[in-house]
Amino acid sequence: MTVLRTLTPRTARRVVVAGLAASAVAMTGIGYAAGEQDFAIVPTIAAPQPALVQQQHAESGHPGGRWSTDQSPFAGSGGPFQQTEPTEGSTNESTATDATADQELGLVYVNTTLDYGSGQAAGTGMVLTSDGEILTNHHVVQGATSISVQVISTGRTYDADVVGYDATHDVAVLQLDGASGLAPVTTDVEEAVQVGDTVTGVGNAFGDGGAASAAAGTVVALDQSITVSDETGGTSSRLSNLIQVDADIIAGDSGGALYDDDGEVVGMNTAASSGSSDVTGYAVPIAQALEIVEQVESGDQSADVEIGNHGYLGVSLSADVTGALVAGVVNDSPAESAGLTAGSTITSLDGAAVTSADALSAAVAALEVGDRVTLAWTDTSGQAHHESVTLGEGPVA
C-alpha cells in the first residue's frame, strides 16, 4: 500500500480547538500527510479525561528532530495518514545528497514546541523578505506554542510569530523577531512548470538541523489532488493543484524549496509517499503560495485564510454533558490564573450564557489574543465565581 507522509518530523501532537485545549487523543507521529486536514476544527471531544491535558509524551530517543518507532506507533507505516485515493507515480532512482550553499541560501529550519512542551516538530521554510518574512507549510507550525527559526546560511536563530495561514492549502506565513539583512529566495512565477522539467527538492532532512538535503528528480504531473485519512480511517481530506515529482523527498523537507534547473523556486515541498521503493513527492506551486502570502499581508481574512491567532482560554471540555463542563485546565493558562478547576461548569462569557461546550468554543474562537473577558462559572461545591480573564495565545490552530 502506498502511504502518504507529512514531511515534518514531530514527537507528539494534540488537537486544539478555538483556543480551548481539547483533551483528545494524543496524535503522536509526524503530523498529517497531505490534504485540507485541520483537526483544530473539531469542536469538542466526548468524555475527555483531565489527565490528557497534562499528558506526557515520549521524549527519549529523539536525536535532533528525528523520530523512530519508539516515539511513534505509526513510524513503521510511514505516518498516521494513509492515502485513500491512488495516484500515479514513477520510479525514483535519485538519492538525496547534501545541498549546495546556493541551494541553502534563503532557506531556514523551522523548529516548534507543541502544546507547551508536549512535543516538538521540525520542518523547513523560505525567506521572502530581508526583514524576516518566512513561507512554510501550515502543518509545520500547527499546534505550535513557540517557534524558532534558524537561518541556514548564517546559523543565527530567531523567535518567530505566525502572521497568518491557510490550512486548506497548507500555507503559513511567519515573521522573525528582529531580523534584518536576510537573503530571500528567488522565485519563478512567470515561467510555467512543465511535465518533464528537472527539479530539486531541498529541506531540513529528517529535521535534524544538519546539512540540508537536495533531492533531484523531474516533474511527473501537474494539478494533482491527494486524498488522505487519519489513522482511524474516520476523517478524510484533500489538497489540490499540487506539483508531483519523482524526487527523493525526505521527512523534514516540509516548507522547503522545490527548485527548477535555473535555481529558482517553483514550489514548496509538502508531502511524499512511502511504503514502496519508489518515492513520489508533492509540492504546492509557488505562485499559489505567494497569492496566499499577499492575502495574509493585506490582513484580508476569509473562509480559508486566518490572520494571526485566536484567543486562548486553556480548558478541556466534555461534550457528553449539558453545559460547558471543564474536564481539565492547562498549566499556566488564563483559565488556571482565573481559578478554574476540573469539574467546574462555565456558565457565561462576557454576560452571554454558555449552554454547551460548542457554544463556548465558538465564542472563544471569535476573540483575539489579549482580549479581556468576564468569565462566570460554578465550581464542584456549587459556589459561583466571576473573574476577568485576559486571553492568551494558544497553539496554532
User: What CATH number did the domain enclosing 11 receive?
Assistant: 2.40.10.120
Both 146 and 171 in a single domain? yes
Both 40 and 85 in a single domain? yes
More confident residue, 201 or 395: 201
Q: Is the pLDDT assigned to residue 39 strictly greater than 70? A: no
275 pLDDT tier (thresholds 50, 70, 90): low
More confident residue, 60 or 335: 335
Is residue 378 domain-resident? yes
Picking from 170, 245, 194, 193, the residue whose alpha carbon sits closest to that of residue 215 is 245
- Residue-level pLDDT at 8: 67
- Residue-level pLDDT at 359: 86
Domain boundary among 308, 330, 347: 308
More confident residue, 239 or 232: 239
Both 364 and 229 in a single domain? no
Both 266 and 337 in a single domain? no
Both 266 and 332 in a single domain? no
CA–CA separation, 306 and 63 (whole Å)? 33
- The mean pLDDT value for 55-71 works out to 23
More confident residue, 85 or 122: 122
- Residue-level pLDDT at 234: 42
Please name the residues in contact with 119: beta carbons below 8 A apart, sequence gap of 6 or more. Answer: 10, 11, 12, 13, 14, 28, 57, 113, 143
Q: Is the pLDDT assigned to residue 148 strictly greater than 90? A: yes
11 pLDDT tier (thresholds 50, 70, 90): low
Is residue 50 domain-resident? no
Both 330 and 239 in a single domain? no
Domain boundary among 290, 308, 326: 308
Q: Is the pLDDT assigned to residue 368 strictly greater than 90? A: no
Is residue 318 domain-resident? yes
More confident residue, 233 or 28: 233
274 pLDDT tier (thresholds 50, 70, 90): low
Is residue 83 domain-resident? yes
Is residue 339 domain-resident? yes
CA–CA separation, 319 and 348 (whole Å)? 17
- Residue-level pLDDT at 60: 24
Does residue 274 contact residue 7 with C-beta atoms inside 8 Å? no
Both 268 and 344 in a single domain? no
CA–CA separation, 333 and 371 (whole Å)? 14
Is residue 14 domain-resident? yes
Domains in the chain, number: 2
206 pLDDT tier (thresholds 50, 70, 90): confident
Task: Pull the grid cell for residue 167.
Answer: 490550512
Q: Report the chain's mean pLDDT, rounded to a whole number.
A: 76
Q: Is the pLDDT assigned to residue 54 strictly greater than 80? A: no
DSSP state of 140: H
Instruction: Quickly count: other Cβ atoms within 10 Å of residue 194's Cβ.
Output: 9
Q: Is the pLDDT assigned to residue 114 strictly greater than 50? A: yes
- The mean pLDDT value for 96-102 works out to 92
Please name the residues in contact with 36: beta carbons below 8 A apart, sequence gap of 6 or more. Answer: 167, 168, 169, 237, 238, 239
Question: Of these residues, 57, 62, 138, 139, which one is catalytic?
Answer: 139
Question: Of these residues, 38, 115, 166, 170, which one is catalytic?
Answer: 170
Q: Is the pLDDT assigned to residue 80 strictly greater than 70? A: no
Task: Pull the grid cell for residue 387.
Answer: 473573574
Instruction: Please say if 333 is a catalytic residue.
Output: no
**Domain region containing 342:** 311-393
Span of 68-82, 209-223, 248-262, 349-363 with lowest mean pLDDT: 68-82
Both 283 and 359 in a single domain? no
Both 214 and 252 in a single domain? yes
- Residue-level pLDDT at 236: 56
Domain boundary among 308, 340, 370: 308
CA–CA separation, 114 and 9 (whole Å)? 12
Q: Is the pLDDT assigned to residue 112 strictly greater than 80? A: yes
- Residue-level pLDDT at 100: 95
- Residue-level pLDDT at 182: 98
Is residue 49 domain-resident? no
Span of 1-15, 252-266, 300-314, 346-360 with lowest mean pLDDT: 1-15
Question: What secondary structure does DSSP assign to 235-290, as a single string?
Answer: -EEEEEEEEEE-S---TT-TT-EEEETTS-EEEEEEEEEESSS---EEEEEHHHHH
More confident residue, 359 or 122: 122
Instruction: Please say if 254 is a catalytic residue.
Output: yes
- The mean pLDDT value for 361-368 works out to 84
- For residue 382, the domain's CATH number is 2.30.42.10
- The mean pLDDT value for 178-193 works out to 95
Is residue 157 domain-resident? yes
Both 239 and 150 in a single domain? yes
Residue corresponding to grid cell 538535503: 213
Both 112 and 73 in a single domain? yes
7 pLDDT tier (thresholds 50, 70, 90): low
10 pLDDT tier (thresholds 50, 70, 90): low
Does residue 267 contact residue 285 with C-beta atoms inside 8 Å? yes
Both 103 and 185 in a single domain? yes
- Residue-level pLDDT at 237: 61
More confident residue, 230 or 201: 201
Question: Of these residues, 237, 254, 274, 344, which one is catalytic?
Answer: 254
Span of 13-27, 247-261, 264-278, 339-353 with lowest mean pLDDT: 13-27
